[in-house]
């Protein structure tokens, strides 16, 4: 399954922000910043990554549901559901 262009742009933008946050955390560690501040940034990264995964999973489920209803792609729908379960 391929992501819709709009979703792809959104996911890539989110990943770029996460990448910037990761560089920021690296810098914070090198500067011996307070652990609480570092953990806050890590939590923000985790939340952002969760949103990326949710967007990808949601689109995959939508596509599989449409295809399953139209063409009988039950196996793909079950795989998409399993991906969601594994993520959660």
Q: What is the DSSP string of 1-22?
A: ----HHHHHHHHHHHHHHHHHH
Number of domains in the chain: 1
Neighbours of 18 (CB within 10 A): 18
Structural domain range at position 46 = 5-87
pTM summary value: 0.74
Could you tell me how many residues make up the chain?
88
C-alpha–C-alpha distance, residues 35 and 38, integer Å = 5
Per-residue pLDDT in tens (0 to 9) along the chain, 88 residues = 688 899 899 999 999 999 999 999 999 999 999 999 999 999 999 999 999 998 888 888 887 777 766 676 677 777 777 777 777 6
Residue 75: give its domain's CATH number: 1.20.58.1000
Residue with tokens 């709009």: 6
């Amino acid at each position: 399954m391929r992501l819709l262009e709009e979703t792809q742009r959104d996911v890539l933008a989110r990943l770029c922000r996460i990448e910037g946050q990761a560089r920021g955390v690296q810098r914070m560690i090198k500067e011996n910043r307070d652990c609480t501040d570092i953990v806050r940034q890590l939590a923000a990264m985790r939340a952002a990554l969760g949103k990326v995964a949710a967007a990808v999973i949601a689109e995959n489920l939508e596509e599989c549901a449409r295809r399953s209803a139209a063409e009988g792609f039950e196996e793909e729908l079950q795989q998409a559901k399993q991906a969601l379960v594994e993520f959660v």
